[in-house]
Amino acid sequence: MNAPLLHAAPQVQIDGLTLAYDKKAAPVLRGLDWTLKPGQVVGLLGRNGAGKTTLLEALLGLREPQSGTVQLFGQAANALDDAARARIGYVPQGSDLFENLTPAQLLAYFKAFYPRWNQAKVDGLMARWAIPADQAIGKLSGGQQQRLSIIRALAHEPDLLILDEPVASLDPIGRRDFLRELVDHVINRGTTVVFSTHILSDLERVAFNVAFLKDGQIALQSPLDELLEQTRRVTGEATAVAAFAKAHQLATLASQAAQPGQSRLVLRGSWPEALPEALLLQTVTLDDLFEVLT
Ligand SMILES: Nc1ncnc2c1ncn2[C@@H]1O[C@H](COP(=O)(O)OP(=O)(O)OP(=O)(O)O)[C@@H](O)[C@H]1O
């Protein structure tokens, strides 16, 4: 997997994004800041209704925020020129395909818009994923439509690929094939990828970074390995846990239910070699992190 070019100019730069559907209710996105560098692969995590789709649509300039700015490749997301637009691939959560066209007609239509269209890749994926080229899209199964949407998004070899729950209606074989395509041919050529999913095991296979969306903001973004390495659940007598966290400057990610007089904290930081015997330290999984950070 390519290392992200962390010194390079960001491909996505979001500053102070606030977006509400209903002016009377709390906004879905609340002053959100987010930066994606070229080659970064980020899994976007959040509970149902947290605002992942809203964020991805705003990122693509498809939703007008109340305040804040979104820049893609240094241009305003809602006023991209054609060259910048051609560098983006998007697989939306629902099908946005023209139901009366056939897959062959749809792909021929999109081919005309993209200078960098890889027909060999399209033909290969259409055959491998067994999509009937000449049947109306409306008559394909949900999984077949999702595969077609993925082929359409990959065909022009985008530099920025936005995937909103791309595997939701794929069977296990389809998911495995898609993840393999993503790792072997998309991530390896340095594409910046944002991938929202609720299937955490998929994310562990693909995403180098994870970003947690909570209360309308990116609560935390980190390389996944680093985050798992740095985080432990610590249980013990409340004052001893607090003193330990303070002494080693560990950040509290969450406080969980414990026996009276005890506390159980999820702490993040760099851990000392020698650990006090009175405290119980446990490693955490991505599922645990999802629970405490979303
Ligand atoms: N078009 C819309 N009009 C009004 N409210 C909307 C609209 N789209 C989404 N919402 C609301 O905004 C909030 C965020 O929705 P969004 O679809 O962005 O969440 P999500 O994190 O993608 O959820 P899920 O994991 O269920 O797909 C929800 O409360 C939802 O009801």
Q: Supply the pLDDT for residue 1.
A: 46
SS3 265: strand
Q: Supply the pLDDT for residue 219.
A: 94
**How far apart are alpha carbons 153 and 156 in whole angstroms?**
7
| CB 25 less than 6 A from any atom of ligand 1 | no
Print pLDDT tens along the chain (294 aa).
444 455 567 899 999 999 999 888 899 999 999 999 999 999 999 999 999 999 999 999 999 999 999 999 999 999 999 999 999 999 998 767 788 999 999 999 999 989 899 999 999 999 999 999 999 999 999 899 999 999 999 999 999 999 999 888 888 888 888 888 888 888 888 899 999 988 888 888 887 899 999 999 999 999 999 999 999 999 999 999 999 999 999 999 999 998 999 999 999 999 988 888 899 999 999 999 999 999
Q: Supply the pLDDT for residue 23.
A: 83
* Cα angle, residue 227 at apex, residues 188 and 185 outer, rounded to 5°: 10
Tokens of 162: 């936005």
User: Looking at the domain 12-215, which fold is it?
Assistant: Rossmann fold (3.40.50)
Q: Supply the pLDDT for residue 2.
A: 47
| CB 92 less than 6 A from any atom of ligand 1 | no
Q: Report how far ligand 1's centroid is from the alpha carbon of 291 (Å).
A: 20
Rg of the chain over CA atoms, in angstroms?
Answer: 22
Give the nearest ligand 1 atom to 57 CA.
Answer: 18
Q: Supply the pLDDT for residue 7.
A: 53
Cα→Cα distances 247→82, 156, 213, Å: 54, 52, 29
Q: Report how far ligand 1's centroid is from the alpha carbon of 98 (Å).
A: 23
